[in-house]
């Protein structure tokens, strides 16, 4: 019996830092957008190159394992060297691989920065998109919780079937979709949302999903779509929790941000870890923010993730504010 099994992508992430990338603003017909720009025709030296492992499925699994939970991971990796690196990382971090090995390439991301520390990520999904249900040994996936991150195309259909399996087998579901999925609309996600216990998105994704603009309207609209609990993160403004009756607002400390890749995974998985360990919503929000803040102060999606002991100590000694508010 696993405490939690994550379902999602696995990638090798490469962070490329240069002195030549600039943030520029370009005004279009409807709005002004920010872009990262490089000189055309130039050969640009990379000042610093950092290799790390990412992907929502393995990011969340790493938090769960470090927090002392028996953890499995379901995804599909390629037959390339990157796939070997991913498997090695999972083994070293006590995460059981319950997924599939394909014949293609593993997921890969190239993260480009600018002089203002903004970033753009180029993503190659590879075999992450090709997971089939018949490639999963269902006899091995007895669990208390499933944690779903973003999967696309064939893999998303497999995740829908796993949601059905979860419902039939009394497995709770946490669902943290990315903008890739959210932009496809609520109707596209409904087969999972209506079975979800904890649904977590950021403010931009919530607005995209609900077509609402205010936080109360967004929380209520998502709650009405089926999830038992809704969390909407709001960057430096903290996060909101809503379960149809109670609304909590969690703050955030004023910290220096090093890099933000994977911070949403860090927050979401730590919140669920708190619930799995029987903690209150208030404690779990503080735990989630502690893990997210630590991730923000490190390069890479996994390097700052906290152990249970360190996270619990942070919650005790330096907690963020969590207050119940009217909605």
116-120, 140-144, 215-219, 294-298 — which one is most confidently predicted on average?
Answer: 215-219
- Across 133-142, average pLDDT: 92
For the record, the structure tokens of 296 come out as: 């923000």
Residue 118 has pLDDT above 70, yes or no: no
For the record, the structure tokens of 158 come out as: 């497999």
The confidence score (pLDDT) of residue 84 equals 95
Q: How many CB atoms lie within 10 A of CB 246?
A: 13
Which tens digit of pLDDT belongs to each residue from 178-234?
998 999 999 999 999 999 999 999 999 999 999 999 999 999 999 999 999 999 999
Higher pLDDT, 38 or 65: 65
Q: Domain 2-12+54-106+125-324's class? A: alpha beta
State phi, psi for 208 to the nearest 5 degrees.
-65, -40
- Across 94-108, average pLDDT: 94
3-state secondary structure 253-287: CCCCCCCCCCHHHHHHHHHHHHHHCCCCHHHHHHH
Residue 42 has pLDDT above 90, yes or no: no
Q: What confidence tier does 177 reach under pLDDT thresholds 50, 70, 90?
A: very high
Q: How many CB atoms lie within 10 A of CB 166?
A: 22
* 263 closest CA partner among 237, 232, 242, 294: 294
What are the residues facing 248 on neighbouring strands? 241, 324
Contacts of 281 (CB under 8 A, 6+ apart): 229, 241, 243, 246, 248, 275
Which tens digit of pLDDT belongs to each residue from 242-291?
999 999 999 998 887 776 777 889 999 999 999 999 999 999 999 999 99
Contact, 327 vs 216, CB < 8 A? Answer: yes
Helix (H/G/I), strand (E/B), else coil: 91: helix
Residue 157 has pLDDT above 60, yes or no: yes
Contact, 64 vs 19, CB < 8 A? Answer: no
Q: For 105, which DSSP code?
A: P
Determine which helix (DSSP H) or strand (DSSP E) holds 33, and give its type and residue range: strand 32-37
The confidence score (pLDDT) of residue 31 equals 72
For the record, the structure tokens of 7 come out as: 């379902």
- The label of the residue with tokens 């938090």 reads 63
Q: Distance between alpha carbon 133 and the CA centroid of its chain, in Å? A: 22
The confidence score (pLDDT) of residue 43 equals 87
What is the C-alpha separation between 183 and 234, in angstroms, rounded? 18
Residue 140 has pLDDT above 90, yes or no: no
Average pLDDT along the chain: 91
Q: What confidence tier does 33 reach under pLDDT thresholds 50, 70, 90?
A: confident
Query: How distant, in Å, are the alpha carbons of 173, 220, 243 from that of 229?
Result: 11, 10, 4
The confidence score (pLDDT) of residue 117 equals 60
Domain segments of the chain as ranges: 2-12+54-106+125-324
Q: What confidence tier does 297 reach under pLDDT thresholds 50, 70, 90?
A: confident
Q: What confidence tier does 175 reach under pLDDT thresholds 50, 70, 90?
A: very high
The confidence score (pLDDT) of residue 16 equals 87
Which tens digit of pLDDT belongs to each residue from 4-30?
999 999 999 898 888 777 777 787 666
The HSE-up count of residue 89 (CA atoms within 13 Å, CB side) is: 23
CB crowding 210-244: b at 16 or more within 10 Å, else e: bebeebeebbbbbbebbbebbbbbbeeebbbbbbe
Instruction: Please give the span between the terminal C-alpha atoms of the chain, in angstroms, as a whole number.
Output: 38
What is the C-alpha separation between 199 and 36, in angstroms, rounded? 32
Which tens digit of pLDDT belongs to each residue from 64-91?
999 999 999 999 999 999 999 999 999 9
Q: What is the largest CA-CA distance in the chain?
A: 58
Q: What percent of the chain has pLDDT above 70?
A: 97
Residue 115 has pLDDT above 60, yes or no: no
């Amino acid at each position: 019996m696993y405490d939690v099994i994550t379902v999602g992508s696995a990638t090798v992430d490469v962070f490329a830092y240069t002195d030549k990338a600039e943030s520029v603003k370009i005004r279009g017909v409807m709005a002004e957008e920010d872009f990262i720009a490089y000189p055309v025709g130039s050969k640009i030296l990379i000042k610093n190159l950092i290799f790390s492992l990412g992907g929502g499925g393995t990011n969340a699994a790493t938090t769960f394992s470090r927090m002392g939970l028996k953890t499995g991971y379901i995804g599909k990796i390629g037959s390339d060297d990157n796939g070997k690196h991913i498997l090695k990382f999972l083994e070293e971090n006590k995460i059981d691989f319950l997924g599939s090995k394909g014949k293609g390439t593993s997921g890969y991301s190239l993260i480009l920065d600018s002089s203002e520390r903004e970033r753009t990520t180029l993503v190659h999904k590879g075999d992450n998109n090709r997971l089939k249900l018949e490639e999963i040994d269902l006899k091995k996936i007895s669990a208390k919780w499933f944690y779903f991150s973003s999967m696309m195309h064939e893999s998303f259909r497999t995740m829908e079937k796993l949601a059905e399996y979860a419902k039939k087998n009394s497995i709770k579901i946490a669902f943290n979709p990315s903008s890739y999925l959210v932009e496809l609309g609520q109707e596209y996600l409904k087969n999972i949302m209506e079975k979800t216990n904890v649904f977590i998105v950021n403010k931009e994704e919530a607005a995209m999903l609900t077509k609402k603009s205010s936080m109360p309207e967004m929380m209520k609209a998502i709650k009405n779509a089926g999830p038992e609990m809704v969390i909407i993160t709001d960057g430096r403004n903290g996060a909101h929790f809503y379960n149809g009756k109670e609304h909590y607002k969690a703050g955030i400390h004023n910290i220096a941000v090093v890099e933000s890749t994977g911070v949403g995974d860090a927050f979401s998985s730590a919140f669920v870890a708190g619930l799995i360990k029987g903690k209150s919503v208030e404690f779990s929000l503080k735990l989630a923010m502690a893990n997210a803040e630590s991730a923000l102060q490190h390069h890479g999606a996994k390097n700052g993730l906290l152990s249970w002991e360190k996270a619990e100590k942070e919650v005790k000694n330096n907690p963020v504010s969590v207050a119940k508010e009217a909605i």
